[in-house]
Amino acid sequence: MPNYCEISDALIIYELSAKDITTFKGGGIIEKTIFPKTEEALFKYAGEADFILGRGSNLIISDGLKKITALSLKMLNKVSCFKDEIYTQAGATAKNLLDVALKNSLTGFEFLHRIPGSVGGLIKMNAGAFGQQISDTLTCCSVLNDGVVKEVKPNFGYRTSDLSGIAISAKFKLKRSKSEDIANRIKSNCLKRVSTQPSNPSCGSVFKNPPFASAGKIIEESGFKGFRIGGAEVSDKHCNFIINKGGATADDFLQIVDKIEKTVYYKYGIRLEREFKLLD
């Protein structure tokens, strides 16, 4: 069971389980996690951090106790809007961004609907869907690196960026649109997600799509649809998702990943690139 300790500028939780902090809902335990309440507290505790914890999507924590200190920006989640720009702290969720954009009739964030990540993670991974990605609208972000805060514009690639350090805040520039048109695009994206992606706990897409190909289709054609080890199973709805059917461990997940990688390389000569991050 986790132990909570609240002080004036932070919440500290000891023995925080992956079941409680990752979207996969299975894996190991982090010995100490610090949740700063202010940006000043973030600067104070940043030097203690071995790992920056977002909202736990695209993350697998290997089984067992991780004797590390993690830093979570979950409590730094303010979002504001001025004209066609949105300013946000890095701990805000994708939903927070989308809600503010919709309220202010701004388009460019519709693809974020049902993406569970935080702003820092969205930027680090260059999150995207439906032909859009977070880099399309990002103007700049403030980053804490080696005790110094700098304003940067990362270089982006497919589901990646060269962002280093701790993202503190970000600014996005969007475009005006009718609120009802934005709402309709959100609804359309939602229907596509529900029809093509599983609702069970998962870490999201396991592999990046190879050039001109679909990782999910390749995995399905390799015979892995419904393949299961322990409590982890390749979704029969979308084979690039490994879902937690109940009691799945990180080892269950990683065994499936390893088997898929080896089989796909043997059959097609394709080395699938992992999209998730592993805290080992």
**12 in Cβ contact with 34 (< 8 Å):** yes
What tokens were used for 279?
């805290």
Residue of 39, 233, 261, 275 marked catalytic: 275
Question: Is 207 a member of any domain?
Answer: no
Active site residue 6: no
Domain endpoint, select from 47, 72, 97? 72
Q: Judge if 55 and 86 occupy the same domain.
A: no
Q: What is the CA radius of gyration of the chain?
A: 19
pLDDT for residue 1: 76
Instruction: Based on the fold, state whether residues 181 and 135 are members of the same structural domain.
Output: yes
Asked, for residue 131, whether it belongs to a domain, the answer is yes
- Which listed residue (39, 55, 142, 159) is catalytic? 159
- 205, 222, 235, 261: the catalytic one is 205
Structural domain range at position 170:
79-195
Residue that terminates a domain, selected from 30, 46, 72: 72
The pLDDT of residue 2: 85
Give the chain's domain count.
3
Please indicate whether residue 39 is annotated as part of the active site: no
- Give yes or no: residues 137 and 157 share one domain: yes
Active site residue 274: no
Specify whether 188 is located in the same domain as 102: yes
Same domain, 42 and 83: no
The rounded average pLDDT for each run of 10 residues, N- to C-terminus, in the chain (280 residues) is: 91 97 98 97 96 94 98 97 97 97 97 94 94 96 94 94 95 97 95 94 97 96 98 98 98 98 97 96
Domain boundary (36, 51, 72) is at 72
Query: Looking at the whole model, is its pTM more than 0.85?
Result: yes
What separation in angstroms does the CA of 153 have from each of 125, 150, 178, 192?
A: 14, 10, 29, 31
Q: 195 near 188, Cβ under 8 Å?
A: no
147 and 187 co-located in one domain: yes
User: In 174-238, where do the E strands start and end?
Assistant: 175-176, 228-229, 232-234
3-state secondary structure (DSSP) of residue 251:
helix
Sequence-distant (6+) residues with CB within 8 A of 99 are none
- What's the rounded Cα separation, in Å, for the pair 80 and 75? 15
